[in-house]
Amino acid sequence: MKNRSSGLIRCIWVGVAAALVVSAPLPGLADTTEEFGTVGPDLLQTLGVGSRSVAMGNAYSAIADDPSATFWNPGRLGVLGRRQMMLHFRPGLETTSNVNWFRPSLSGPESFTQSLDRKAGGLQPTFASFVYPLTDQRSGSAGTIGVSYTLGGYFNLDSTRIRTVGSPSDLTTFSQTRDHDFQLMRNSYLTVAYGHQWSPLRNRVGTLGAGIAYYRVTADFQSEHQTNTTTWDQTLNQQVTSITDTQRIDRGNGDGVVVGVYYQTGIPSQSGLADAPPGPDGRPLSVSSTTWSFAACYRSGATLDGMGFGASTVSEIPDRMSLGVAYNSFLPQKSGSGGERDRVVIAGEVQRFGSANSPAQTDYRTEVTNVHLGIEWIPAKPLFAIPKERRYETPIRLGFRTNESAVRYAFSENVLSGGIAFIRKGENDAKVLTIEPTFEYFTKSKVWFANLTFQMALDAVVRTSGGADRPSSGGRGASETNP
């Protein structure tokens, strides 16, 4: 009965996720939106995936321990010892721009007013990932594979410009030209990744991991320009309005690779852990209350074929180099804590985005470097009143990142972020179910973003109301390290 209930709950959760994905706006049909920080196709620069990474300022290549590793660093995939899935929701930025020019007469001076309205839109699925650890009877692990789909971002421009001469009360001298421009570019990434980890020198100096991923990016570009001109026609002796409308649609595809590595000094000790657990060779692993993680990840650039004139400025994705470091430590034990200790994770990352891939775009794209910082505090006891017979975590996270655009003349600003998570834990501290709400604040636009992530382990061991452990689906006992 319990297994049947667990299967029913999983089916309901997957069904809700599938319904939300189907309800996502399709390319070319979405609301007028514009992502922060760039007008090129590589909106992954400003778009983070997974609420934990977003809350920690996207400083994540050295600590990715969930399905978003397919995006941040495939070298971290080997850390994942369980089948897991993740679904991340993020809003778009709705932008309305209006400019009005007025001239009392053809010879008079011209004045204008301008308004720009930016606000966060509704949540929509922007990332879905599934990871599957491979097993080997001799070594116990043959690495982990992952597949993910990312709505990389979108550049939507909805702009209206109105030029008016004269007063509407005198139609014979009144004229008005209204230009409406709409440009929509959306791109999506399909990624297939593989990662593996080793414990070199007989498991005494930490863990080394490496991975590689292939991505296929598809971009859709839609452009429409409409002009309405109203003037007085002397022949017809009346106001005449003429309308011109031009449209074009382009689609391009490109390919690239991502390679990543990481190194971690030992594995963090756990509450109540008296002895170091054995490694694959039977010898004790290097266990300590403090660990360091170092990571490097390179994503190659891509040129999108099939993009015509007018879409050429959004037809290239620059390469990206990420260097990250993370510090993970248990805090001193508090009196009366029963041996449990709080834990803190501090992470930093530097990301460099390359310039244009072709000489034709060197004046449009420039090389930029961004800095990401994040901190996470995991209290030993959950912050909420939760039944004691179940194991939960409620981490609190804060982050900061610079957001200089790799595209010239684009919107650049710093971003503050934060969030909290509700994590149900199982055997070996496996994350059975995670719900993570997160916020972002863009300092220049003064706009708040809300993010939400659901993560589920499909083969973790969960804890029943009576305190006994049982597998949620087949039950594997692999443990995962959490840098």
Among the listed residues 211, 54, 21, the one whose alpha carbon sits nearest the alpha carbon of residue 133: 211
**CA 58 from chain center: how many Å?**
8
Round to the nearest angstrom and report the end-to-end CA distance of the chain.
36
pLDDT value of position 13? 38
DSSP string covering 319-361: -EEEEEEEEEEEPPPPTTSTT---EEEEEEEEEEE---SSGGG
**Which pLDDT does position 280 carry in this prediction?**
47
Alpha-carbon distance of 18 to 9, in angstroms, equals 14
pLDDT of residue 41: 42
Q: What pLDDT, on the 0 to 100 scale, is given for residue 23?
A: 34
Helix (H) or strand (E) holding 265: none
Model confidence, pTM: 0.76
Distance CA 307, CA 302 (A): 13
- The tokens describing 4, both together, are 């049947």
Provide CATH code, domain 2-93+119-152+187-220+257-471: 2.40.160.40
How high is the pLDDT of residue 10?
A: 46
Q: What is the pLDDT of residue 327?
A: 93
- pLDDT at position 250 is 80
For residues 162 and 111, is the Cβ–Cβ distance under 8 A?
A: no
What residue ranges of the chain have pLDDT lower than 50?
A: 1-41, 137, 201-203, 270-277, 279-281, 284-286, 461-479, 481
According to the model, what pLDDT value does residue 45 have? 55
- So what's the pLDDT on residue 411? 63
Closest by CA to 185, choosing from 46, 28, 29, is 28
pLDDT value of residue 288: 61
How high is the pLDDT of residue 476? Answer: 40
